[in-house]
A and B are shown apart, each in its own frame.
Chain A
Amino acid sequence: MKYKSQQIAYWFFALCILLFALQITYGFIMGFARIGWDGLHDIIPFNTARAVHTNLLVVWLLSGFMGAAYYIIPEEAQRELVSVKLAFVQFFSLALVGVIAIVGYHFNYWEGRKFLEIPRELDYLVVVNVLLFLGLILTTLFKGKRQTTTAMVLSMGLLFAALLYLPGMIWFDSQVMDSFFRWWVVHLWVEGVWELIMGGILAFLLIKLTGVDREVIEKWLYVIVGLTFLSGVLGTGHHYYYIGVNKIWLVVGGIFSALEPLAFLGMALFAVYMYRKGEKKHPNKLALFWTIGSAIVSFIGAGLLGFAHTLPQTNLYTHGTLVTAMHGHYAFWGAYAMIVLAIISYSVPNMTGRKRFDKTAGHMAFWLSNIGMLGMVVALGVAGVVQVYLERRLKMDFMVAQEETKIHFVVMLLCATLFTVGIVMYMYEFIRYGKPSDEALEPAA
């Protein structure tokens, strides 16, 4: 670690880990409810558990992105963060908004719009919070000694993510328009600007871990984020096939979303190629595992599994089924959860000065969580196919078809247990590292 102010990232990462643990807990509540064990229904009905599960994911990933930015931007800009105090204010307000939202969901305090359940009053607080965050990051960047492509792409991703939150705050009487603009936020986040953030973090990690020349890495970063937007923006059309808008989206969405895997393929090839080209001297192999793993799993989860149901002819039957949940789990895990876990694995040893990255627990965490998640995704995929076939093709009643999926949720819960063991080991390692220390600061060159 070169700058003391980078230590603020640690607190965002700690919040990440805490919220991730809670997210998994609510995932189990949902999984058990699906096999008929819904003893918590009166306190935490499925819709509450679901809103908490997905919103915690969004908040912990955002907390991870923010932590990553606080760690990366000072190092890239070669100066301290403009204000650590304000960064702490931003941290506590983020945690506060998150806690109020999550508690509120248990008392019907929500907007009830998938992924954007945060009630309107809290939306304004989110806007203020993100403006403060962006102010700190961008001021640091532009006051810095250099503005690297990596830092610019990361900051641009964060800025666009904030701007794209706004269309989700417009009120529509029409469910169709509501859905249409909700996807401006959700799709253009996860299949657009978040990929910029992921690309920025990935480029930073590859520069640090492989030792490959920055110019080469950053050139390919532009190509990848270029491919992302070229396919992802018009690829939004795959959400518009069957929600009540013009048929033109069947053509536009079909073509461009079929191209979306290219960006993820580019990302995977880029990471693997840079690793092979690099010196392989960096001792933090665990961070490298998470980094390369993220690029590869995101290609499978977001790219290939997304493609599996993105064509209009397939999506006509899979739209609104568990097939979406299958794709969603692996895509979010690979593209965003793993890249956040990668930057944590890279930066925490640097912030604390403790080099525990060759510990068995850390490696077990990587493999168990990945194998567990793969199992969960296969179980969800089978359940999805069963649902599509029975309900959409054979026209069986919804609940009759659901009965047939129960066994797949038993398998999913078993795999989720394996996944959780991996994540608990990751958390154990995080705790064992302890807090950041000034002794970890590298002497000024």
Chain B
Amino acid sequence: MLSKSQARAFFLGGTVVTFLIFIGLTIYSFAPKNDQTNRDKLTAEVAKGKRIWESNNCMGCHTILGEGAYYAPELTKVVERRGEPFIRAVLQSPVPWAPNGRKMVAYAMNDEDTEAVIAYLKWIGEIDLNGFDRVVSPLSKGEKQ
């Protein structure tokens, strides 16, 4: 029968080994040859777009890369789906955008911030998401699942 010290060794040993593998896999994931995000295209404007995205807590309603609140649409492929003029109109609207009656906060964004958010969304849209990009892309409509 298992003794208490063996049980402790199982806990400590298992924890150390899995943490080491986890850290190894993290380093492997971010090695330049494994990059799936077009890191070279991550410009200062994209980073600014990300800050605007965060400072308005867009993830509190929308999802991006499948992460968020499921109250408003997934925006990973939104540039492809809606086009830039539509997004510009939504971000710059002085009154709440309300598709089917569900309201978005009216941001009345200036041109500079709007372009940064669009640059960020474009960068997101080009990431290789291991197949999820096809699931959320309208261009896969009619494509065999």
Contact of B70 among A117, A247, A320 (CB under 8 A): A320
In the complex, the answer to whether A222 meets B4 with C-beta atoms within 8 Å is yes
Contact of B102 among A176, A319, A321, A402 (CB under 8 A): A402
In the complex, the answer to whether B101 meets A47 with C-beta atoms within 8 Å is no
A246 to chain B, nearest CB (A): 5
Q: Which residue of A lies closest to B19 (CB)?
A: A233
A143 to chain B, nearest CB (A): 23
In the complex, the answer to whether A113 meets B22 with C-beta atoms within 8 Å is no
In the complex, the answer to whether B70 meets A321 with C-beta atoms within 8 Å is yes
Question: Which of A129-137, A345-353, A393-401 is near enough to bind chain B?
Answer: A393-401
In the complex, the answer to whether B22 meets A320 with C-beta atoms within 8 Å is no
In the complex, the answer to whether A223 meets B7 with C-beta atoms within 8 Å is yes
In the complex, the answer to whether B29 meets A50 with C-beta atoms within 8 Å is no
A105-B56 Cα distance, complex, nearest whole Å: 10
Q: Which of B8-28 contact A (CB under 8 A)?
A: 8, 10-11, 14-15, 18-19, 21-22, 25-26, 28
In the complex, the answer to whether A236 meets B22 with C-beta atoms within 8 Å is yes
Interface centre among B4, B69, B72 (most CB of A within 10 A): B69
Q: Which residue of A lies closest to B63 (CB)?
A: A320
A241-B65 Cα distance, complex, nearest whole Å: 10
What residues on A are CB-neighbors of B19 within 8 Å?
229, 233
Contact of B66 among A50, A215, A242 (CB under 8 A): A242
Contact of A398 among B72, B96, B140 (CB under 8 A): B72
Q: Does A317 interact with chain B (Cβ within 8 Å)? A: yes
Q: A398-B72, A402-B102 in contact; A220/B7 too (CB < 8 A)?
A: yes
In the complex, the answer to whether A47 meets B37 with C-beta atoms within 8 Å is no
Interface size classification for chain B: 35 or more
Interface string of B40-79 (1 = CB under 8 A from A): 0010001100100111111111011111111111100000
Q: A113-B54, A248-B28, A320-B70 in contact; A229/B14 too (CB < 8 A)?
A: yes
In the complex, the answer to whether B132 meets A316 with C-beta atoms within 8 Å is yes
A174-B59 Cα distance, complex, nearest whole Å: 15
Tell me how many residues of A have a C-beta within 8 Å of chain B: 73
Q: Which of A145-180 contact B (CB under 8 A)?
A: 149, 173-180
In the complex, the answer to whether B55 meets A234 with C-beta atoms within 8 Å is no
Interface string of A225-245 (1 = CB under 8 A from B): 111011001101100111111
Q: Which residue of B lies closest to A172 (CB)?
A: B50
In the complex, the answer to whether B71 meets A34 with C-beta atoms within 8 Å is yes
Q: Which of A44-69 contact B (CB under 8 A)?
A: 45-48, 50-51
Q: Can you report 13 A-B residue pairs in the complex whose CB atoms are below 8 A from each other?
A: A36-B102, A47-B61, A112-B56, A175-B124, A180-B26, A222-B10, A234-B18, A234-B21, A242-B131, A245-B30, A320-B74, A324-B70, A399-B100
Chain A residues at the B interface, C-beta cutoff of 8 Å = 30, 33-34, 36, 38, 41, 45-48, 50-51, 105, 108, 110-114, 117, 149, 173-180, 215, 218-220, 222-223, 225-227, 229-230, 233-234, 236-237, 240-250, 252, 316-317, 319-322, 324-325, 387, 392-393, 395, 398-400, 402-403
Chain B residues at the A interface, C-beta cutoff of 8 Å = 2-4, 7-8, 10-11, 14-15, 18-19, 21-22, 25-26, 28-30, 34, 36-37, 39, 42, 46-47, 50, 53-61, 63-74, 96, 99-103, 105, 120, 124, 127-132, 135-136, 138, 140-141, 145
Beyond A248-B29, A252-B25, A402-B102, 17 extra complex contacts between A and B, CB < 8 Å: A36-B101, A50-B69, A108-B56, A114-B68, A114-B69, A149-B8, A173-B42, A223-B2, A223-B11, A226-B10, A227-B14, A233-B18, A249-B25, A316-B132, A316-B135, A325-B70, A403-B100
